[in-house]
Amino acid sequence: MRILDKLESYLGRFAIPGLVQFVAGLQLLTFVISMMQPLEARMHYQDFLRLDGARILHGEVWRLVTYIFVPGSDSVLFALFGAMFLMWLGRGLEQAWGPFRLNLYFIGGMLSVAIGSLICGFDESSLYLFQSLLLAFAVIYPNEEILLFMILPVKIKWIAWLDVAMMALAVLSAPVAIIPIFFSHLNFLIVFAPGFVRERMHLAKVAERRSRFDQMTSSGNPFFHQCTVCKKTEVDNPTLEFRVNDDGDEICSDCRKPR
């Protein structure tokens, strides 16, 4: 976080407010331009914009950016509601993080996808990249509700879990899909995975202490606190004070004293 704070203090003025909303608007504009063309011309137009690592290496560098504007469907309703949903996600994430950190998350995701395409040569749409925005939103606002089909209220965390299940099915049906999925969600993993691992480890240690307490209670020699360093408990020395450090380990007052 300190590194991000320093980066934001130096580079924050270059952040683009409403970046995701701007991308959603350009995606909708691309859809309109595409639909105004005959079917064959439309296919060539979208192919001209798509991400393709092999073509990028041959000088078609615009594909590093333009692939995020390619519409995910030829349906007017899907394109319209998709753009509106993306704008909603962008506003929520920007409110939580601010423009700079959202820019860093989104552009970092684009960079990760581009590197993956250059290394592995996959030709992928921006769908998985936008899913990384959905997952980030669901972690920050898990109980936020949307109206599914404009009727049924559903919490965003269940939409995210459905998204994860669909990605798992995609990998099961075509294992090679794990490559674009990984690169498209690398930004999400970098931001949220460390905190998730720390939380799981902390809960495991709490459960271990609770289990130890229950065992000692049933054995007739109950204690709740035990120093990780010297193994003493409050039963061994009632004057000891115990504190939990950042790693979730209990340290007694004797072991905390400077040596």
pLDDT tens, position by position, for the chain (259 residues)?
A: 577 777 777 777 888 898 999 999 998 898 888 888 888 888 888 888 888 777 888 888 888 888 888 887 777 877 888 888 889 999 999 998 988 889 999 998 888 888 888 888 777 668 888 899 999 999 999 888 887 766 778 888 898 999 999 999 989 998 888 888 898 889 899 888 887 777 777 777 777 767 666 665 555 556 666 777 777 776 666 767 777 776 667 777 777 766 5
Those residues whose C-beta lies under 8 Å from the C-beta of residue 49, and which sit 6 or more positions away, are 30, 62, 63, 66, 67, 69, 70
Decide: residue 257, CB within 10 A, 0-12 exposed, 13-18 middle, 19+ buried: exposed
Contact 45, 34 (CB under 8 A): yes
CA–CA distance, 156 with 89 (Å, rounded to integer): 10
Do 37 and 165 lie in one domain? The reply is yes
Work out how many domains the chain is built from and give that number: 2
- What is the domain extent for residue 222? 199-256
Q: Domain check: are 170 and 209 in the same one?
A: no
- The rounded distance, in Å, linking the Cα atoms of 127 and 53 is 17
Within this chain, do residues 31 and 83 fall inside the same structural domain, yes or no? yes
CA distances from 43 to 48, 54, 83, 114, 117 (A): 9, 19, 21, 22, 21
Residue that terminates a domain, selected from 154, 184, 214: 184
Q: Are residues 205 and 133 in the same domain?
A: no
- Are 147 and 248 found together in one domain? no
Same domain, 241 and 212: yes
Give residues with Cβ within 8 angstroms of 115, minimum separation 6: 183
For 119, the enclosing helix (H) or strand (E) is helix 99-120
**DSSP annotation of 252:** E
The reply to whether 110 and 168 lie within a common domain is yes
For the entire predicted model, the pTM comes to 0.73
Residues 110 and 220 in one domain: no
Task: Write down which residue in 127, 161, 184 finishes a domain.
Answer: 184
**Same domain for 219 and 180?**
no
Residue 97 in contact with residue 106, Cβ under 8 Å? no
User: Do 56 and 11 share a structural domain?
Assistant: yes
